[in-house]
Amino acid sequence: MEDPGTVFFTGTAGAGKTSLVQAFKEWMSHSGYDATVVNLDPGNENPTLEPDVDVREWVRLPDVMTEYDLGPNGAQVVASDLIAIKVFEIKQALAEFRSDLVLVDTPGQVELFAFRESSKSIVEALGGDQATIAFLFDPALARSPAGFVSLLLLSASVEFRFRAPMVNLLTKSDLIPPEQLEEVLAWAEEPGRLSAAVDAVTPTPDMQLSTQVYRAIELMAPMTGLLATSAKDSTGLESVYRAVQRNLGGGEDLEPAQAPPE
């Protein structure tokens, strides 16, 4: 059996990574596929978290805080390096599961995943050339033009850092009114419409900087698409599966590990 594809879910704090990972696993199971969930956040206290492989078996945030006399933020930085040291033990634990996809729930603060050198070694060790990254757009930010641009540029930074295929996901789409949701999704497809929305709300006095930012957005537009999802009502989860398969398998469907339940 070939190594399964690995999807790393990342995004800003509060974007709903853990909830979406759990919902996507349930969708896969209902569709006849197997998924293994890995928690890479040593400080995750979400009561709904039910990982198959949990980094907290090797590194726990409270223990790091005590041992190194650090606050939560400093402890997370140290913990990310400690996880990299333990990554091959984590990979051995993961090897006990044979599934169609591995779903990795990364730390809540995106910078701990995206901007630490240790994270690159973790992605390479756990995913190799079968890794893809799902970047989550929090609707609390994405529904404003300036917030959307900020998330778009952050997503591009993550892609640049890891050089891995990406899929952008708008989470909690059930919380956005339909008309506004349509507008947000259009921003990802029509950079001119996004530029107009930004100018209408926050005119930029530095026109040269504004032009450069818009040009970057136009260059990114063909590869950034945005999928609306909801962990609450399962909106868009089949589309997530299709996008992941395009990134990992050229669009070919997986052979179900089991028959879908009636």
Q: What are the φ/ψ torsions at residue 102 (nearest 5 degrees)?
A: -110, 125
More confident residue, 261 or 216: 216
The segment with the largest mean pLDDT, out of 45-49, 216-220, 242-246, is 242-246
* Selection from 100, 170, 109 nearest residue 134 by Cα: 170
pLDDT in tens, 16-72: 999 999 999 999 999 999 999 999 999 888 777 889 999 999 999 999 999 999 998
pLDDT band at residue 222, thresholds of 50, 70 and 90? very low
Query: How high is the pLDDT of residue 259?
Result: 47
Q: Reply yes or no on whether the pLDDT at 9 is more than 90.
A: yes
CB 136 within 8 A of CB 171: yes
* Selection from 7, 23, 10, 3 nearest residue 174 by Cα: 23
Query: How high is the pLDDT of residue 203?
Result: 60
Least confident segment among 89-98, 133-142, 159-168, 213-222? 213-222
Q: Reply yes or no on whether the pLDDT at 204 is more than 60.
A: no
Average pLDDT over the chain reads: 86
pLDDT band at residue 215, thresholds of 50, 70 and 90? low
Query: How high is the pLDDT of residue 84?
Result: 93
Query: How high is the pLDDT of residue 7?
Result: 97
Query: How high is the pLDDT of residue 113?
Result: 87
CB 3 within 8 A of CB 128: yes
Helix (H, G, I), strand (E, B) or coil at 146: helix
Exposure of 201 in the CB half-sphere (CA atoms within 13 A)? 12
pLDDT band at residue 200, thresholds of 50, 70 and 90? confident
On the 0-12 / 13-18 / 19+ scale of CB atoms within 10 A, 47 is exposed
CB 10 within 8 A of CB 105: no
DSSP H or E stretch at residue 169:
strand 166-170
Q: What is the DSSP string of 200-241?
A: HHS--S-HHHHHHHHHHHHHHHHHH-EEE--TTT-TTHHHHH
Query: How high is the pLDDT of residue 132?
Result: 95
**Hey, which residues does 37 pair with through a beta bridge?**
103
CATH number attached to the domain at 5-138+162-171+224-249:
3.40.50.300
User: For residue 209, how many other CB atoms are within 10 A of its CB?
Assistant: 10
Q: Reply yes or no on whether the pLDDT at 183 is more than 70.
A: yes
Q: Average pLDDT in the 138-142 region?
A: 94
Q: How far apart are CA 158 and CA 151, in angstroms?
A: 10
Query: How high is the pLDDT of residue 109?
Result: 83
